[in-house]
Amino acid sequence: MNFFYINALLLTLVTSSVQAAEIYITDPEHTFVSFSYKHLAYSIQTSRFDKVNGTITLNDQMDGGTIDIAIETDSVSTGSDTFNKLLRTEDYFNSEKFPVAKFTSDKVIFNNQAITSLSGELTIKGITKPINLEVSNFACSRNFITLKYMCGANASAKLSRSEFDLGKYVPFVGDEISLNIVIEASKE
């Protein structure tokens, strides 16, 4: 084999692998992260982050991909301005020092071209822990309003807030968090 033939073959392989990736950008109007926890044994409280953005890359065979999601911690929304400010302090998300929480995954698990789970890493306050998300809904199709090709999903997991230095008032305020992610993304 000569040098030019090998380079042409390598270029073909690289080009075809790049073309096989489909990139999706999250829709900020239909993507958010919510979390719920027990509050003093009285109720289960639910809050959310309003500013979530990211990129999802799926291969054209729908059997693998990557996910990179950024959550702006100062966008926490509890329904109370006072409590929002409290959750942004050092005792909780410390939004000034850690403005972004992240979820990344290169283990997108498919079953019959549907995502069933995601294994990745969640980083909050500079602390990174492995996390497995169960996907309860996954669908892709052309959006009849925008005419863009889109995918959407719902995913959930349980985690311990004290593992991310968010454990103030445990055990009076529950340590276990139910994390829910709602995502819609447009193909670029």
How does pLDDT run across 80-134, given as a tens digit for each residue?
999 999 999 999 999 999 999 999 999 998 988 889 999 999 999 999 999 999 9
Residue 11 pLDDT > 80 = no
Domains detected in the chain: 21-187 (2.40.128.110)
Enter the pTM of the model: 0.84
Residues 6+ apart with CB under 8 A from 24: 55, 56, 57, 58, 150, 151, 185, 186, 187, 188
**3-state secondary structure at position 74:** helix
Of residues 99 and 63, more confidently modeled: 99
The Cα 62–Cα 64 span in angstroms is 6
Average pLDDT over residues 62-90: 95
Residue 173 pLDDT > 60 = yes
- Tell me the residue type at 26: T
DSSP state of 41: T
| Stretch among 34-43, 57-66, 134-143 having the lowest mean pLDDT | 57-66
Residue 14 pLDDT > 60 = no
pLDDT at 6: 45
pLDDT at 9: 46
Q: Are 107 and 120 in contact (CB under 8 A)?
A: yes
**Residue 2 phi, psi dihedral angles, 5° rounding:** -95, 170
pLDDT at 41: 87
Residue 1 pLDDT > 90 = no
Taken as a whole, the chain contains a residue count of: 188
- What 96-99 contacts at long range (C-beta under 8 Å, 24+ apart), as own/partner pairs, is 97/125, 98/73, 98/124, 98/125, 98/126, 99/72, 99/73, 99/74
Q: Are 156 and 137 in contact (CB under 8 A)?
A: no
Residue 12 pLDDT > 50 = no
**What count of other Cβ atoms lies within 10 Å of the Cβ of residue 124?**
23
